Protein backbone atom coordinates (compact mmCIF):
# COMPACT_ATOMS: atom_id res chain seq x y z
CA UNK A 1 0.00 0.00 0.00
CA UNK A 2 1.29 3.42 -0.94
CA UNK A 3 1.34 6.03 1.86
CA UNK A 4 1.18 9.51 0.33
CA UNK A 5 1.40 12.82 2.14
CA UNK A 6 1.65 15.07 -0.91
CA UNK A 7 -1.06 15.92 -3.42
CA UNK A 8 1.53 15.63 -6.22
CA UNK A 9 2.32 12.00 -5.23
CA UNK A 10 -1.37 11.03 -5.41
CA UNK A 11 -1.84 12.82 -8.74
CA UNK A 12 1.20 11.10 -10.26
CA UNK A 13 -0.07 7.68 -9.12
CA UNK A 14 -3.57 8.41 -10.40
CA UNK A 15 -2.12 9.41 -13.79
CA UNK A 16 -0.38 6.03 -14.03
CA UNK A 17 -3.50 4.14 -13.02
CA UNK A 18 -5.63 6.05 -15.50
CA UNK A 19 -3.12 5.38 -18.27
CA UNK A 20 -3.39 1.66 -17.49
CA UNK A 21 -7.19 1.90 -17.71
CA UNK A 22 -7.87 1.16 -14.03
CA UNK A 23 -11.05 2.30 -12.30
CA UNK A 24 -10.57 4.16 -9.01
CA UNK A 25 -12.70 4.14 -5.87
CA UNK A 26 -12.26 6.90 -3.27
CA UNK A 27 -13.17 6.64 0.43
CA UNK A 28 -12.88 10.02 2.20
CA UNK A 29 -12.39 9.71 5.97
CA UNK A 30 -11.06 11.63 8.94
CA UNK A 31 -9.14 8.59 10.17
CA UNK A 32 -9.35 6.72 13.49
CA UNK A 33 -10.87 4.04 11.33
CA UNK A 34 -13.42 1.52 12.58
CA UNK A 35 -15.67 -1.11 11.01
CA UNK A 36 -17.96 1.57 9.58
CA UNK A 37 -15.08 2.96 7.52
CA UNK A 38 -13.89 -0.57 6.75
CA UNK A 39 -17.28 -1.42 5.21
CA UNK A 40 -16.87 1.49 2.77
CA UNK A 41 -13.32 0.46 1.88
CA UNK A 42 -14.37 -3.17 1.35
CA UNK A 43 -17.20 -2.08 -0.93
CA UNK A 44 -14.80 0.14 -2.87
CA UNK A 45 -12.39 -2.82 -3.10
CA UNK A 46 -15.12 -4.96 -4.67
CA UNK A 47 -16.17 -2.38 -7.24
CA UNK A 48 -12.89 -0.80 -8.41
CA UNK A 49 -9.43 -1.78 -9.65
CA UNK A 50 -7.72 0.68 -7.30
CA UNK A 51 -8.83 2.07 -3.94
CA UNK A 52 -7.72 5.37 -2.42
CA UNK A 53 -8.54 6.11 1.23
CA UNK A 54 -8.05 9.68 2.40
CA UNK A 55 -7.25 10.05 6.08
CA UNK A 56 -7.43 13.73 6.96
CA UNK A 57 -8.97 15.60 9.89
CA UNK A 58 -10.27 18.50 7.85
CA UNK A 59 -9.86 21.68 9.92
CA UNK A 60 -12.26 23.82 7.87
CA UNK A 61 -15.28 21.67 8.73
CA UNK A 62 -14.88 22.28 12.49
CA UNK A 63 -16.40 25.33 14.20
CA UNK A 64 -14.35 27.38 16.69
CA UNK A 65 -15.83 25.60 19.73
CA UNK A 66 -15.71 22.10 18.28
CA UNK A 67 -13.33 19.19 18.81
CA UNK A 68 -10.67 19.71 16.12
CA UNK A 69 -7.78 19.61 18.61
CA UNK A 70 -9.05 16.56 20.48
CA UNK A 71 -10.41 14.59 17.51
CA UNK A 72 -8.95 11.06 17.91
CA UNK A 73 -6.06 10.12 15.64
CA UNK A 74 -4.08 6.87 15.16
CA UNK A 75 -2.49 6.83 11.74
CA UNK A 76 -0.45 3.66 12.29
CA UNK A 77 -3.58 1.67 13.16
CA UNK A 78 -5.38 3.23 10.16
CA UNK A 79 -2.57 2.10 7.82
CA UNK A 80 -2.71 -1.44 9.19
CA UNK A 81 -6.47 -1.65 8.74
CA UNK A 82 -6.37 -0.20 5.21
CA UNK A 83 -3.58 -2.54 4.17
CA UNK A 84 -5.37 -5.57 5.65
CA UNK A 85 -8.48 -4.92 3.56
CA UNK A 86 -6.63 -4.17 0.38
CA UNK A 87 -6.56 -0.38 -0.07
CA UNK A 88 -3.95 0.62 -2.65
CA UNK A 89 -3.15 4.10 -1.41
CA UNK A 90 -3.75 6.03 1.79
CA UNK A 91 -3.57 9.81 1.47
CA UNK A 92 -2.60 11.51 4.72
CA UNK A 93 -1.79 15.16 4.10
CA UNK A 94 -0.93 17.82 6.67
CA UNK A 95 -3.45 20.70 6.73
CA UNK A 96 -0.87 23.01 5.10
CA UNK A 97 -0.59 20.61 2.14
CA UNK A 98 -4.35 20.92 1.58
CA UNK A 99 -4.84 24.60 2.35
CA UNK A 100 -1.40 26.24 2.04
CA UNK A 101 -0.75 29.45 3.95
CA UNK A 102 -3.89 31.07 2.58
CA UNK A 103 -7.08 29.62 1.13
CA UNK A 104 -10.02 31.59 -0.30
CA UNK A 105 -12.23 29.17 -2.26
CA UNK A 106 -15.20 27.34 -0.83
CA UNK A 107 -17.86 25.05 -2.27
CA UNK A 108 -21.30 24.99 -0.68
CA UNK A 109 -24.72 23.48 -1.24
CA UNK A 110 -27.52 25.83 -0.18
CA UNK A 111 -30.83 24.70 1.35
CA UNK A 112 -29.67 21.15 2.14
CA UNK A 113 -26.90 22.49 4.40
CA UNK A 114 -29.12 24.80 6.41
CA UNK A 115 -31.20 22.44 8.56
CA UNK A 116 -30.41 19.44 10.80
CA UNK A 117 -26.68 19.54 11.70
CA UNK A 118 -26.26 22.75 9.68
CA UNK A 119 -28.23 24.69 12.31
CA UNK A 120 -25.78 24.07 15.11
CA UNK A 121 -22.76 23.66 12.78
CA UNK A 122 -23.16 26.56 10.32
CA UNK A 123 -19.80 26.25 8.50
CA UNK A 124 -19.57 22.48 8.66
CA UNK A 125 -20.97 21.45 5.29
CA UNK A 126 -19.11 24.12 3.33
CA UNK A 127 -15.95 22.67 4.85
CA UNK A 128 -17.04 19.16 3.89
CA UNK A 129 -18.01 20.13 0.32
CA UNK A 130 -14.74 21.99 -0.14
CA UNK A 131 -12.53 19.13 1.02
CA UNK A 132 -14.58 16.57 -0.91
CA UNK A 133 -14.26 18.69 -4.06
CA UNK A 134 -10.50 18.85 -3.57
CA UNK A 135 -10.34 15.08 -3.02
CA UNK A 136 -12.47 14.45 -6.14
CA UNK A 137 -10.09 16.61 -8.17
CA UNK A 138 -6.99 14.98 -6.71
CA UNK A 139 -8.15 11.36 -6.93
CA UNK A 140 -10.15 11.57 -10.20
CA UNK A 141 -12.15 8.61 -8.91
CA UNK A 142 -14.91 6.81 -10.77
CA UNK A 143 -16.80 6.17 -7.53
CA UNK A 144 -16.75 7.71 -4.06
CA UNK A 145 -18.10 5.97 -0.97
CA UNK A 146 -19.97 7.65 1.89
CA UNK A 147 -21.84 6.23 4.89
CA UNK A 148 -25.53 6.76 5.56
CA UNK A 149 -24.41 7.33 9.16
CA UNK A 150 -23.88 10.94 8.00
CA UNK A 151 -27.10 11.03 5.98
CA UNK A 152 -27.16 14.81 5.54
CA UNK A 153 -23.56 14.77 4.31
CA UNK A 154 -24.41 11.98 1.84
CA UNK A 155 -27.43 13.90 0.49
CA UNK A 156 -25.36 17.08 0.17
CA UNK A 157 -22.47 15.35 -1.62
CA UNK A 158 -24.92 13.65 -3.99
CA UNK A 159 -26.52 17.00 -4.73
CA UNK A 160 -23.16 18.70 -5.23
CA UNK A 161 -22.00 15.96 -7.64
CA UNK A 162 -25.24 16.28 -9.61
CA UNK A 163 -25.45 20.09 -9.64
CA UNK A 164 -21.78 20.56 -10.55
CA UNK A 165 -21.66 17.74 -13.14
CA UNK A 166 -19.02 15.65 -11.42
CA UNK A 167 -18.20 12.57 -13.41
CA UNK A 168 -18.28 10.42 -10.30
CA UNK A 169 -20.77 7.93 -8.90
CA UNK A 170 -21.65 8.60 -5.26
CA UNK A 171 -22.21 5.30 -3.45
CA UNK A 172 -24.13 5.36 -0.14
CA UNK A 173 -23.36 2.54 2.33
CA UNK A 174 -25.43 1.28 5.29
CA UNK A 175 -24.77 2.21 8.92
CA UNK A 176 -22.54 -0.23 10.80
CA UNK A 177 -23.47 -0.59 14.48
CA UNK A 178 -22.10 -1.95 17.75
CA UNK A 179 -23.83 -5.05 19.12
CA UNK A 180 -26.22 -2.97 21.24
CA UNK A 181 -27.17 -0.83 18.25
CA UNK A 182 -25.03 2.27 18.80
CA UNK A 183 -23.80 3.51 15.42
CA UNK A 184 -20.02 3.12 15.20
CA UNK A 185 -18.28 6.48 15.30
CA UNK A 186 -14.77 7.75 15.97
CA UNK A 187 -16.39 10.07 18.53
CA UNK A 188 -17.71 7.13 20.61
CA UNK A 189 -14.23 7.04 22.11
CA UNK A 190 -15.10 10.26 24.03
CA UNK A 191 -17.79 8.41 26.04
CA UNK A 192 -17.03 7.15 29.54
CA UNK A 193 -18.52 3.81 30.64
CA UNK A 194 -21.74 5.34 31.97
CA UNK A 195 -22.21 7.54 28.88
CA UNK A 196 -21.49 4.61 26.58
CA UNK A 197 -24.40 2.73 28.16
CA UNK A 198 -26.63 5.79 27.89
CA UNK A 199 -25.73 6.34 24.21
CA UNK A 200 -27.79 3.34 23.13
CA UNK A 201 -30.87 5.54 23.65
CA UNK A 202 -30.44 7.05 20.15
CA UNK A 203 -30.86 3.65 18.51
CA UNK A 204 -33.68 2.64 20.87
CA UNK A 205 -35.63 5.81 20.09
CA UNK A 206 -35.05 5.56 16.32
CA UNK A 207 -36.09 1.91 16.34
CA UNK A 208 -39.41 2.95 17.88
CA UNK A 209 -39.79 5.69 15.26
CA UNK A 210 -39.02 3.26 12.46
CA UNK A 211 -41.58 0.78 13.79
CA UNK A 212 -44.22 3.53 13.82
CA UNK A 213 -43.45 4.54 10.22
CA UNK A 214 -43.42 0.90 9.07
CA UNK A 215 -46.78 0.40 10.78
CA UNK A 216 -48.19 3.21 8.64
CA UNK A 217 -47.96 6.30 10.86
CA UNK A 218 -48.23 9.37 8.59
CA UNK A 219 -48.03 12.17 11.15
CA UNK A 220 -44.40 13.33 11.47
CA UNK A 221 -45.17 15.18 14.74
CA UNK A 222 -46.25 11.93 16.41
CA UNK A 223 -43.03 10.20 15.38
CA UNK A 224 -40.95 13.15 16.61
CA UNK A 225 -42.85 13.11 19.93
CA UNK A 226 -42.31 9.37 20.46
CA UNK A 227 -38.58 9.59 19.66
CA UNK A 228 -38.17 12.69 21.85
CA UNK A 229 -39.90 11.04 24.80
CA UNK A 230 -37.61 8.01 24.69
CA UNK A 231 -34.44 10.08 24.39
CA UNK A 232 -35.54 12.39 27.21
CA UNK A 233 -36.03 9.34 29.46
CA UNK A 234 -32.21 9.06 29.53
CA UNK A 235 -30.90 11.56 32.12
CA UNK A 236 -27.46 11.93 30.46
CA UNK A 237 -28.98 12.98 27.13
CA UNK A 238 -29.70 16.44 25.75
CA UNK A 239 -31.42 16.70 22.38
CA UNK A 240 -29.98 18.97 19.68
CA UNK A 241 -32.66 17.97 17.17
CA UNK A 242 -35.17 15.28 16.25
CA UNK A 243 -36.49 15.83 12.73
CA UNK A 244 -38.26 14.19 9.82
CA UNK A 245 -37.26 15.65 6.44
CA UNK A 246 -37.71 14.66 2.82
CA UNK A 247 -34.61 12.79 1.67
CA UNK A 248 -33.94 14.99 -1.32
CA UNK A 249 -34.03 18.61 -0.23
CA UNK A 250 -33.92 17.85 3.50
CA UNK A 251 -36.91 20.05 4.26
CA UNK A 252 -39.11 19.29 7.31
CA UNK A 253 -42.25 17.32 6.50
CA UNK A 254 -45.59 17.19 8.31
CA UNK A 255 -46.87 14.12 6.49
CA UNK A 256 -44.83 10.97 5.91
CA UNK A 257 -45.00 10.26 2.23
CA UNK A 258 -42.07 9.33 -0.07
CA UNK A 259 -38.45 8.89 1.03
CA UNK A 260 -38.12 10.36 4.52
CA UNK A 261 -35.00 10.83 6.60
CA UNK A 262 -35.58 10.69 10.34
CA UNK A 263 -32.47 12.11 11.98
CA UNK A 264 -31.38 12.91 15.52
CA UNK A 265 -28.43 14.69 17.11
CA UNK A 266 -28.10 14.18 20.84
CA UNK A 267 -25.50 15.17 23.41
CA UNK A 268 -24.55 12.35 25.75
CA UNK A 269 -22.62 14.28 28.35
CA UNK A 270 -20.43 16.56 26.23
CA UNK A 271 -20.32 14.25 23.21
CA UNK A 272 -22.63 15.04 20.32
CA UNK A 273 -23.82 11.88 18.54
CA UNK A 274 -25.94 11.52 15.41
CA UNK A 275 -28.03 8.67 14.03
CA UNK A 276 -30.89 8.23 11.60
CA UNK A 277 -33.06 5.94 9.52
CA UNK A 278 -34.45 6.34 6.04
CA UNK A 279 -37.95 5.18 5.14
CA UNK A 280 -38.43 4.79 1.40
P1 LIG B 1 -15.58 10.23 9.20
O2 LIG B 1 -14.21 9.66 9.35
O3 LIG B 1 -16.37 10.26 10.45
O4 LIG B 1 -15.56 11.55 8.46
O5 LIG B 1 -16.35 9.23 8.25
C6 LIG B 1 -15.87 8.90 6.98
C7 LIG B 1 -16.92 8.13 6.22
O8 LIG B 1 -17.25 6.95 6.94
C9 LIG B 1 -18.23 8.93 6.08
O10 LIG B 1 -18.77 8.72 4.78
C11 LIG B 1 -19.11 8.33 7.14
O12 LIG B 1 -20.48 8.42 6.86
C13 LIG B 1 -18.65 6.89 7.11
N14 LIG B 1 -18.99 6.24 8.38
C15 LIG B 1 -18.66 6.63 9.64
N16 LIG B 1 -19.22 5.84 10.57
C17 LIG B 1 -19.92 4.91 9.89
C18 LIG B 1 -20.74 3.81 10.29
N19 LIG B 1 -20.95 3.51 11.56
N20 LIG B 1 -21.33 3.06 9.31
C21 LIG B 1 -21.14 3.37 8.00
N22 LIG B 1 -20.39 4.40 7.57
C23 LIG B 1 -19.79 5.16 8.49
What are 150-179's pLDDT values in tens digits? Answer: 999 999 999 999 999 999 999 999 999 999
Give yes or no: residues 126 and 202 share one domain.
no
Determine, yes or no, domain membership for 158.
yes
Mutating to test ligand 1, I would choose from 37, 44, 51, 52 the residue with most ligand atoms within 8 A of its C-beta, which is 37
Residues classed as catalytic:
37
- Domain end residue (candidates: 106, 139, 173): 173
Q: Which residue lies with its CA nearest to atom 13 of ligand 1?
A: 147
Q: What is the pLDDT of residue 11?
A: 98
User: CA 84, CA 38: separation in Å to the nearest integer?
Assistant: 10
Tell me, in angstroms, the distance from the centre of ligand 1 to residue 34's CA: 9
User: CA 15, CA 139: separation in Å to the nearest integer?
Assistant: 9
172-189: per-residue pLDDT in tens? 999 999 999 999 999 999
Mean pLDDT taken over the chain: 98
- Domain end residue (candidates: 111, 145, 173): 173
Q: DSSP label at 65?
A: T
Give yes or no: residues 144 and 219 share one domain.
no
Tell me, in angstroms, the distance from the centre of ligand 1 to residue 33's CA: 9
21-66: per-residue pLDDT in tens? 999 999 999 999 999 999 999 999 999 999 999 999 999 999 999 9
User: CA 134, CA 123: separation in Å to the nearest integer?
Assistant: 17
**How many residues in the chain?**
280
- Give the ligand 1 atom nearest the CA of 145: 10
- Give the ligand 1 atom nearest the CA of 37: 8
Q: DSSP label at 275?
A: E
Mutating to test ligand 1, I would choose from 78, 149, 156 the residue with most ligand atoms within 8 A of its C-beta, which is 149
72-118: per-residue pLDDT in tens? 999 999 999 999 999 999 999 999 999 999 999 999 999 999 999 99
Determine, yes or no, domain membership for 261.
yes
Determine, yes or no, domain membership for 179.
no
In this predicted structure, the answer to whether residue 280 has a pLDDT above a threshold of 90 is no
The dihedral sign for the CA sequence 148, 126, 189, 57 = positive
Give yes or no: residues 164 and 196 share one domain.
no
Give yes or no: residues 208 and 72 share one domain.
no
When divided into structural domains, the chain yields a total of 2
Tell me, in angstroms, the distance from the centre of ligand 1 to residue 56's CA: 13
Give yes or no: residues 252 and 150 share one domain.
no
User: CA 176, CA 206: separation in Å to the nearest integer?
Assistant: 15
Determine, yes or no, domain membership for 208.
yes
Q: Which residue lies with its CA nearest to atom 7 of ligand 1?
A: 29
What range defines the domain where residue 127 resides?
A: 2-173
Mutating to test ligand 1, I would choose from 41, 141, 147, 151 the residue with most ligand atoms within 8 A of its C-beta, which is 147
Name every protein residue with a CB atom under 6 angstroms from any ligand 1 atom. Answer: 29-30, 36-37, 39-40, 146-147, 149-150, 173, 175-176, 183-186
Tell me, in angstroms, the distance from the centre of ligand 1 to residue 39's CA: 9
102: CATH:
3.40.50.620
User: CA 266, CA 268: separation in Å to the nearest integer?
Assistant: 6
- Domain end residue (candidates: 138, 173, 208): 173
SS3 121: coil
What separation in angstroms does the CA of 201 have from each of 178, 185, 235, 271?
13, 15, 10, 14
SS3 277: strand
pLDDT-above-90 percentage for the chain: 99
- Give the ligand 1 atom nearest the CA of 32: 2
Q: Which residue lies with its CA nearest to atom 5 of ligand 1?
A: 29
Determine, yes or no, domain membership for 180.
no
Tell me, in angstroms, the distance from the centre of ligand 1 to residue 150's CA: 7
Give yes or no: residues 138 and 104 share one domain.
yes
Give yes or no: residues 92 and 40 share one domain.
yes
Amino acid sequence: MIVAEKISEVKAQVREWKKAGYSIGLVPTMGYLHEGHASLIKRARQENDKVIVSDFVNPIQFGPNEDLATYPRDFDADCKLCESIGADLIFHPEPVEMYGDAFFSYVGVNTLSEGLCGKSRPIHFNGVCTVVTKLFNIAEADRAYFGQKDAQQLAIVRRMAKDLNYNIEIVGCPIIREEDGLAKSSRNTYLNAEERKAAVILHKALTKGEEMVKAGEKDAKKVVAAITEIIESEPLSKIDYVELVDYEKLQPVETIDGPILTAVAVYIGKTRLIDNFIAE
